[in-house]
């Protein structure tokens, strides 16, 4: 807008501007000339004169050739080839002269832009062009310098070859050949001389370009601090503004959500409402979209096409990557909305253990009331499970502090229970470790869970007491066991006592003594069992009852 108003001023202002520009160009030329030594200035003048002389020769040769072709409808292929070569040499010499006088110029700036039909591939390349230009600019000068050095070496080899050919043609004894042969040698000599001049002029132009690039590289190396300052005030400031805008946008959106969820929505709605859960997860998506739009707006307003193109390219890559995972995201979204196969508050089996789903999130929390600690699982693991409503409270066969009886007869106290290991104290204070999943699959007798537990003892007497086996013996044993338990301090913990004839064994009459004990005395399971056995033996000794041992009866058949 400023430039449009400036050039619409009266001609007086335009004339002043042109004068200022011309004066500045003169000062710049004088400054450049003052920085050159007399030898360098003389070499530059000599180089320009040689290029102009060669250009005049080529133009004269072209004009003579065109004059000779006047009246010929279709020139021969050799004449046409020579004319094309002369035109190429003239164009090359003109460009060399322009490079030596003006320097490297971007000709694309002066080319007219033509309107073309819409092509999405072309438009995409236009978007990516700043990125490609930025990447290309990093290695542009080194590549140009490498190419120019290779071209200089090639032209020097060509120049040596031309000198060698001219030397050989000049060394031929012209007087020894016929006139036609001498004429052909002269034509060939002129060809090589012209070709040498063309190579020499190309070499001059390439060397000039290399000198300018080396000088520019030295100037850039000496201007590191200005370049750094330019980056900080330019693209660095743009990046800083983009980061600040993202942070401010994110904090502002979070503050709005905090006000809404804590002061507008009730606690019950936050916990169990489906619409609030849907709105909660939608908020994160909206927050991300708003932050991305804010960054793009900053880059657009700062007119940094490179960063804007990089941002759009990153978004496109992200979109292509997300497309592959859309089905998985849909399943995870159903879980997050509590609409999937696993739901909050229900029971799920994981690693052969029951768990309660306390919360479903990016890391879902599983909890067992009887185990110390929780398990956190990612959504991709949760979506492979299935939960069910809780019908009972049996989460684990034992708790910390319970007394248990294992299938192998081991009796112990549960010291700790974690999702990985069960710690059990057994006889003599030894510690036994068992994997939690294996513990859950055992047939464990927990003496502490119910109100009571039972101690069963089998005691055998001799068949000689068969007459009193159903009357006196059970009564005597029961009375003695009651007295013994009371004396041992178990009076208020005994819930029942049963003494009955169990079976008539092979060598003894077996009695079953079953004591029902309160779970408060679960730790005395084996103590009560031993006390009952001792009491039965004591009664048998007092009454003179014989305690048999296993016998083998042998029947002898007379011969």
Using one digit for the tens of pLDDT, what is the confidence trace for 288-345?
888 888 888 888 887 777 777 778 878 887 777 777 766 777 777 777 766 778 888 8
Supply the range of the domain harboring residue 432. Answer: 403-446
Read off the tokens for 258. 């905090």
Q: Are residues 300 and 232 in the same domain?
A: yes
20-34, 121-135, 321-335, 418-432, range with the lowest pLDDT = 20-34
* Half-sphere exposure at residue 464, Cβ-oriented, CA atoms within 13 angstroms: 6
Q: Are residues 277 and 243 in the same domain?
A: yes
Q: Are residues 537 and 457 in the same domain?
A: yes
- Report yes or no: 553 and 510 within 8 Å, Cβ to Cβ: no
Asked if residue 64 belongs to a domain, the reply is no
Quick one: CA dihedral 344, 350, 356, 362, positive or negative? Answer: negative
Q: Are residues 245 and 303 in the same domain?
A: yes
Asked if residue 63 belongs to a domain, the reply is no
Read off the tokens for 523. 């730790």
Write b or e for each residue in 64-75: b if 16 or more Cβ atoms lie within 10 A of its Cβ, otherwise e: eeeeeeeeeeee
Summarised one tens digit per residue, pLDDT across range 485-540 is 999 988 899 999 999 998 888 788 999 999 999 999 898 888 999 999 999 999 99
Q: Are residues 458 and 442 in the same domain?
A: no
Asked if residue 427 belongs to a domain, the reply is yes
Element (DSSP H or E) covering residue 425: strand 421-425
Q: Are residues 469 and 534 in the same domain?
A: yes
Asked if residue 362 belongs to a domain, the reply is yes
Element (DSSP H or E) covering residue 500: strand 494-504
Predicted pLDDT of residue 115:
47
Q: Are residues 468 and 537 in the same domain?
A: yes
Beta pairing, strands 374-378 & 421-425: unpaired
What is the number of structural domains in the chain? 5
Q: Residue 74 region, left (φ>0) first, then alpha (ψ -120 to 50), else beta?
A: beta
Interatomic CA distance for residues 382 and 375, integer angstroms: 12
Asked if residue 517 belongs to a domain, the reply is yes
Q: Are residues 361 and 316 in the same domain?
A: no
- On the question of pLDDT at 481 being above 60, the answer is yes
* Half-sphere exposure at residue 422, Cβ-oriented, CA atoms within 13 angstroms: 26
What is the residue-averaged pLDDT of the chain? 77
What CATH number has the domain bearing residue 538? Answer: 3.30.70.100
- Report yes or no: 453 and 515 within 8 Å, Cβ to Cβ: no
Asked if residue 72 belongs to a domain, the reply is no
Asked if residue 77 belongs to a domain, the reply is no
Asked if residue 537 belongs to a domain, the reply is yes
- Report yes or no: 88 and 56 within 8 Å, Cβ to Cβ: no
* Angle 103-106-108 from CA coordinates, rounded to 5°: 155
Q: Are residues 383 and 419 in the same domain?
A: no
Nearest to 459 by CA among 414, 418, 501, 429: 501
Predicted structure pTM score = 0.48
Q: Are residues 342 and 277 in the same domain?
A: no
Q: Are residues 466 and 531 in the same domain?
A: yes
Q: Are residues 319 and 345 in the same domain?
A: no
Quick one: CA dihedral 156, 159, 161, 163, positive or negative? Answer: negative
């Amino acid at each position: 807008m400023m430039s449009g108003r400036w050039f619409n001023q009266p001609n007086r202002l335009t004339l002043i501007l042109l004068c200022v520009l011309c004066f500045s160009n003169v000062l710049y030329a004088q400054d450049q000339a003052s920085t050159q030594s007399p030898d360098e200035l003389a070499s530059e003048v000599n180089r320009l004169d040689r290029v102009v002389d060669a250009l005049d020769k080529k133009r004269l040769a072209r004009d003579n050739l065109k004059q000779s072709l006047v009246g010929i409808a279709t020139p021969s292929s050799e004449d046409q080839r020579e004319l094309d070569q002369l035109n190429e040499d003239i164009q090359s010499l003109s460009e060399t002269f322009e490079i030596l006088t003006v320097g490297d110029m971007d000709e694309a700036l002066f080319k007219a832009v033509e309107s073309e039909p819409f092509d999405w591939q072309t438009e995409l390349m236009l978007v990516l062009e700043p990125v490609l230009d930025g990447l290309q600019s990093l290695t542009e000068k080194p590549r140009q310098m490498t190419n120019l050095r290779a071209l200089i070496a090639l032209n020097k080899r060509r120049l040596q070859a031309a000198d060698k050919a001219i030397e050989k043609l000049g060394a031929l004894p012209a007087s020894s050949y016929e006139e036609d042969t001498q004429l052909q040698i002269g034509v060939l000599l002129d060809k090589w001389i012209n070709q040498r001049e063309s190579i020499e002029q190309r070499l001059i132009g390439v060397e000039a370009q290399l000198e300018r690039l080396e000088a520019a590289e030295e100037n850039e190396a000496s201007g590191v601090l200005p370049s750094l300052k330019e980056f900080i005030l330019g693209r660095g400031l743009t990046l800083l503004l983009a980061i600040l805008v993202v942070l401010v946008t994110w904090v502002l959106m979070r503050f709005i959500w905090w006000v809404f969820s804590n002061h507008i929505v009730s606690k019950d709605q936050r916990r169990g409402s489906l619409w609030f859960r849907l709105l909660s997860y939608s908020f994160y998506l909206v927050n991300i979209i708003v932050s991305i739009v804010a960054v793009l707006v900053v880059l657009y307003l700062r007119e940094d096409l490179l960063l804007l193109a990089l941002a759009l390219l990153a978004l496109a890559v992200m979109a292509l990557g997300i497309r592959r995972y859309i089905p998985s995201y849909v399943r995870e979204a159903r879980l997050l909305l509590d609409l999937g196969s696993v739901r909050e508050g229900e029971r799920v089996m994981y690693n052969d253990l029951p768990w309660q789903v306390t919360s479903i999130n990016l890391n879902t929390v599983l909890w067992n009331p009887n185990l110390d600690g929780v398990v956190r699982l990612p959504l991709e693991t949760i979506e492979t499970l299935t939960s069910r409503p809780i019908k009972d409270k049996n989460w684990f066969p034992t708790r910390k502090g319970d007394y248990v009886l294992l299938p192998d007869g081991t009796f112990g106290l549960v010291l700790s229970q974690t999702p990985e290991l069960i710690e059990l104290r057994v006889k003599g204070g030894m510690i036994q470790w068992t994997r939690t999943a294996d513990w859950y699959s055992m047939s464990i007798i927990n003496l502490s869970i119910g109100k009571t537990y039972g101690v069963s003892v089998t005691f055998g007497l001799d068949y000689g007491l068969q007459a009193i086996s159903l009357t006196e013996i059970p009564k005597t044993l029961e009375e003695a066991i009651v007295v013994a338990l009371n004396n041992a301090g178990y009076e208020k913990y005994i819930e029942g006592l049963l003494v009955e004839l169990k079976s008539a064994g092979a060598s003894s009459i077996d009695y079953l003594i079953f004591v029902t004990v309160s779970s408060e005395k679960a730790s005395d399971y084996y103590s009560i069992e031993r006390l009952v056995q001792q009491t039965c033996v004591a009664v048998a000794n007092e009454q003179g009852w014989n305690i048999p041992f296993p016998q083998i009866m042998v029947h002898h058949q007379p011969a």
